[in-house]
Amino acid sequence: MNMGRKLMTTILTIICFTLAASLISMNESYSFDFYMIMYLVYATPLIVLIGLPLSILLDDLLRRIQFVNHMLYLSTRILGYACAGVLGMYIYYVLTGAGEEILNFKETLVLTLLGAFAAILFVMIDMGLEVWLQTRSRKS
């Protein structure tokens, strides 16, 4: 487990997620900079305190499985992270005391999809950094 890569992935995910979610969310009522601050304030603790530990746990579980096909491994990893993003949002709902509101599909759908989006973004950045660092270490 490369913790330096995971921390770099976390920082890059926070930046990319904040930019992407702000672009998607901005409207006539609230500007891009409002959403930048909002997503930065709310997403950073979630990604650091829930996303990073779930990522470490999921990578440890996937490392124990012997995949014959690399595409199956990548698909399982991406799907696993998407599920971890959904799980992370429900952990957030429980921690914030949402109560029965977490059972209201309409109320939780948008944030749950944003959680899955952040998790998929996390794994894509992590895989990109993994390949980049391996390529870089081979050249030296």
Count of residues making up the chain: 140
Domain extents for the chain?
Answer: 3-139
| 90-140 pLDDT, tens digit each | 898 888 887 777 777 787 888 899 999 999 999 999 999 999 999 998 887
Q: Assess contact for 121 and 13: CB atoms under 8 A.
A: yes
Model pTM? 0.91
Q: What are phi and psi of 104, to 5 degrees?
A: -85, 100
Q: How does DSSP assign 35-78, residue by residue?
A: HHHHHHHHHHHHIIIIIHHHHHHHHHHHHHS--S-HHHHHHHHH
* Token couple for 85: 């993003």
pLDDT tens digits, residue range 72-89? 999 999 999 999 999 999
